Structure 1
Amino acid sequence: MNDIREVEVVVTGAGQAGLSSAYHLRRTGFVPERDFVVLDHSPGPGGAWQFRWPSLTYGKVHGMHALPGMKLTGADAARPSSEVISEYFERYERTFDLRVRRPVDVRAVRSTSVDAGAVGAQDGSAPRGRLLVETSDGTWSAKALINATGTWDRPFWPRYPGQETFRGRQLHTAQYPGPEAFAGLRVVVVGGGASGTQHLLELAPYAADTTWVTRRPPVFREGPFDENAGRAAVALVEERVRRGLPPKSVVSVTGLPLNDAIRRGLADGVLDRLPMFDRLTPDGVEWNDGRHVSADVVLWATGFRPAVDHLTPLRLREPGGGIRVEGTRAVADPRVHLVGYGPSASTIGANRAGRSAVREIARLLAQGEEEREAAAAA
C-alpha cells in the first residue's frame, strides 16, 4: 500500500468543469499536489475543445463562458476554436498553478468502506473510509472526488437495422474532420441538435447532396434566450438527475437559436428535415413507406453520454439508469461530486457547479475532522 498517494481531493478531468473546480479548491486554501490533484487523460490542455474540427472557428462557438478569475480576451474569431480555447486553458493552468497531471487514465474509483454509499446517503454526513482512484499512473487515496469527465469520450451511436451492411462510411460528430473531407459525396446527417445543423450548413457547399433526418421535428427558438428561460431549461434537466434518470443536455430543452445562418439554411432547403429512416441498406437509407436515399456517408450527430463508467464500483446508478444528484453531490455517496453533469453541463453551469462542489466538500472534510477529534477526546 506504500505506492498509494494520499490527498484530500481528486479532480478527474481538466475541461471547463475540472479547471473551475481546481480554481475554487485553490481559492479555498487547498494546495495542489499536497491537498488535491487534477488528473486528465487528454494529451494537452483544452478539454474536449482540443478535439473539435478545424472549421469550427472561435467566432462560431455558441455560449463559451470564461473560466473563473481570468477572462478570454483578444481571441481571433477566425481561428479554430480548438486552438484558441486550448491556449486559453493552458494559460489558465499556468496562471493559477493547477499542476494538471496528464495523460492519466482513471480506470476505477472504489471505496475502502464496507458500507460504501449507505452511510450518509440521505443526510449528507460523511461516510467512513476513503476513495481509491485507480489510474494509469498509480492509485490516489482521497476523502472526496470531483468527477468532471464530461461526455466527449462517450459518443452515442444509435443502432438501426442494416447498419452493418452499409458500404459507405459511418462516423460520429466526435470524428468529424471538417467539410472538405466530404467533397462530392452524398451525406446523410442524423440528429436534431446544434452539431447536426452546424454540419449541414458547413457541408452544403462541398457535398454532392445532403439529407437531414431526425427522430423529432427540430424546435427553432425565436428571440433572445434570457435568464428566466435559462433557469427554466436548467430546472428541467435538474429534475431528471434528482430522480436518478440519465441527464438530457441543456440544449435539448432550449431548442435551436434561429440565427441568420439557420434562416439561410431553411430558405435554401439545406435544413429541410425528414423523419428518421427505418433501416440502412448497402447504398443508403430507407423508410418503411418505400422512400430511399442513396448515401456515401452517414454522419451521426447524435450526441454524447456522461463518461462515468469508472465510477461503477461505487454503485451510484439508480434503477432509472442515471446517478441521482442533489446540486453536485451524488446522493448515494456525498464524497462524490459530479461537475459538468446534467444541469451543470454548460460552460457557465460548470463554473458555478465547481464553486458549489468545493464548498460542500470543505464542509464535509471539516465535519469529518470534528468527528475524529471528538472520537479521540472520548
Structure 2
Amino acid sequence: MTNASQVVVIGGGQSGLAAGYHLRRLGVDFVILDAQSGPGGAWQHTWDSLHLFSPAAYSSLPGRFMPPQTGRTYPGAQHVVEYLSDYEKRYELPVQRPVRVQEVRREGEVLCVETDSGAWQARAVISATGTWWRPFLPAVPGRGDFGGRQLHTVEYRRPQDFAGRRVIVVGGGNSGAQIAADLVYDTELTWVTQRPPRFLADDIDGRALFDAATARRRALDEGRSDTGGVASLGDIVAVPPVREARDRGLLKADPMFTRLLPGGVEWADGARAEADAIIWCTGFRPALSHLAPLQLRGQRGRIATVGTRAADEPRLHLLGYGDWTGPASATLVGVGRPAREAAREIAAVLT
C-alpha cells in the first residue's frame, strides 16, 4: 500500500514535533513517522538522573513554554517526555507510530519513503532522526580483549547497577561528567578524558550556550571571524550534581589510556587500572542510514546543506543534527528557528 502526503517528517522527537508545529501553522499537509512506541523521542531512553542544562522556560519548543518541574530548577528527562507528549496532543500533530523508515529514494517528481508499514510518496521530506540511535565507539587497541562489561551512554541507567564495582567512564563532555558524578559515590570510579576537563563557569547554562551558538552562526554567515561558539566557553555545563562532585574533589580526570587489557586498561607509561566495566561516553554520529539511496553524504558522514535544505536534493531538509543544520538545532530551545525556516521554505515551494 502506498500513501501520499505533501510532506513526510521522519522522527517524532523534539525536532520532528517542532517541524510539525510550523507545518501545521502554514496549512501544509504532512505526516510524522516515528519509530518509537510512545512519545518523547530519545528522552525516554536516557539515564535516570539526567536533567536539562536550562530552566524549563528556556527549554521550550515553539508555541508552548515547558512548565516548571516542582522542586527542580533544571527539569529531568521524564519531565521532558511528559512535555513532548502534551505538546504532540495539544497541537494535534499527526504522528504515526511505531513506524520504522527503512529508506528514502527518488521516484520521479516525488520522494518515496519506504517503511515497515508501507510506502509514502511526498513532495518534500524532513529528516529529524537525531543522533541517539547511532552511538560512537572509538577504535582503541584491545577493546575486544576486555573481559568485563562495556556499554555506551545509551545503555547506562543508574549507579545502583554498578554498586561496589570498579568502573571506568570515558569522555570529557557533558555525558561523561554527569555519569561520572552519578557513579562517584557508589563505585570505585576512574574518569578518563582526552584532555583536562573544561568546566563552564557555574552561572552558564543552556541559555548562554544557545546565544553563543547563534552568535557564531551569524558571524560566519556575515563573513566575520569565527567566534568559536560554544566550544570557546568550555565542554561541561556545571549542573548541580556535577558541581557538587567537582567541589568535593571527587571529579578528577585521568588522561586517556592507550589500550584495553582483559582485566582493565593500560596507559602509555605502563600504569594499569583494573576494571569491571567501561562506560563509553564518546558521543554520537547522525542517524542517516535511511537516506543512503540518495547518495548525499560527504565528509564526516554529513550531508551538505544550505540552511536545513540538502544542497544536492532540494526536496530534503535535515533538522536537529547539530550546528550544520541550524545553530543549536540539536537542543529543545534551539530547534524552533531552523524548524520554522524549513517549514517556510517547503511551503513556498509547494504553493
**TM (normalized to structure 1)?**
0.81
Aligned length: 338
> Does the CA-based 8 Å contact 1:238-1:342 persist in structure 2?
no
Deviation at 1:230, TM superposition (A): 4.0
1:217 aligns with 2:196: yes
The match for 2:43 among 49, 73, 77 is: 49
Corresponding residue number in structure 1 for 2:16: 18
**Shift of the alpha carbon at 1:98?**
0.8
Secondary structure at the aligned position of 2:64 is classed as: coil
Q: Which string of whole-angstrom CA distances, capped at 9 and with x for unpartnered residues, describes residues 142-166 of structure 1?
A: 0001111011101111121111111
Secondary structure of the 1:293 match is: strand
Q: How does 1:92-111 map to 2 (within 5 A)?
A: 92-111=87-106
* Counterpart residue identity of residue 275, structure 1: P
1:78-89 alignment to 2 at 5 Å? Answer: 81-89=76-84
Larger radius of gyration: 1
Pairing partner for 2:185 from 187, 201, 205? 205
What is the rounded CA distance, in whole Å, between the counterparts of 2:57 and 2:271 in structure 1?
38
TM-superposition CA deviations, 1:281-315 (whole Å, max 9, x none): 11111012111011111000111111111111111
State yes or no: 1:272 paired with 2:252. yes
Aligned to 1:348: 333
Question: Structure 1 residues 64 and 109, CA, compared in 2 at 3 Å: closer, same or farther?
Answer: farther
User: In structure 1, what is the Cα distance between the partners aligned to 2:126 and 2:218?
Assistant: 18
Q: 1:13 to 1:182 in 2, by over 3 A?
A: same
Partner SS, residue 151 of structure 1: coil
Match of 1:190 among 158, 163, 170: 170
C-alpha deviation, 1:92, in angstroms: 1.4
Q: Secondary structure at the match of 1:256?
A: coil
State the Cα deviation string for residues 158-201 of structure 1 (Å, max 9, x = none).
12111111111111110002111110001100001111111111
Identity of aligned residues (%): 46
- Gaps of at least 5 residues in structure 2 are 221-228, 324-328
Distance 2:231 2:32 in 1: 28
Relative to structure 1, is the Cα distance of residues 59 and 306 closer, same or farther in structure 2, using a 3 angstrom cutoff? closer
CA RMSD of the aligned region, Å? 2.9
> Displacement, 1:5?
1.1
| Residue 161 (structure 2) pairs with residue 163 (structure 1) | no
Residues 1-12 of structure 1 mapped to structure 2, 5 A cutoff: 3-12=1-10
Q: Does 1:175 align with 2:173?
A: no
CA 1:58–1:65: 2 relative to 1, 3 Å: closer
Match of residue 31 from structure 2: 37
1:71 aligns with 2:56: no
- Does residue 147 in structure 1 map to residue 108 in structure 2? no
- Pair 309,77 (structure 1): closer, same or farther in 2 beyond 3 Å: farther
Deviation of 1:61 (Å): 7.9
How far apart are the structure 1 equivalents of 2:277 and 2:96? 38
- How far did 1:223 drift? 5.7
Cα distance in 2 for residues equivalent to 1:251 and 1:159: 24
* Aligned twin of 2:85: 90
Q: What is the alpha-carbon distance in structure 2 between the residues aligned to residue 19 and residue 13 of structure 1?
A: 8
**TM-score for both structures, normalised by structure 2:** 0.87
Letter in 1 for 2:330: A
Change (3 A) 1:156 1:61: farther
Task: Supply the distance in 2 between the matched residues of 1:63 and 1:202 (Cα, whole angstroms).
Answer: 25
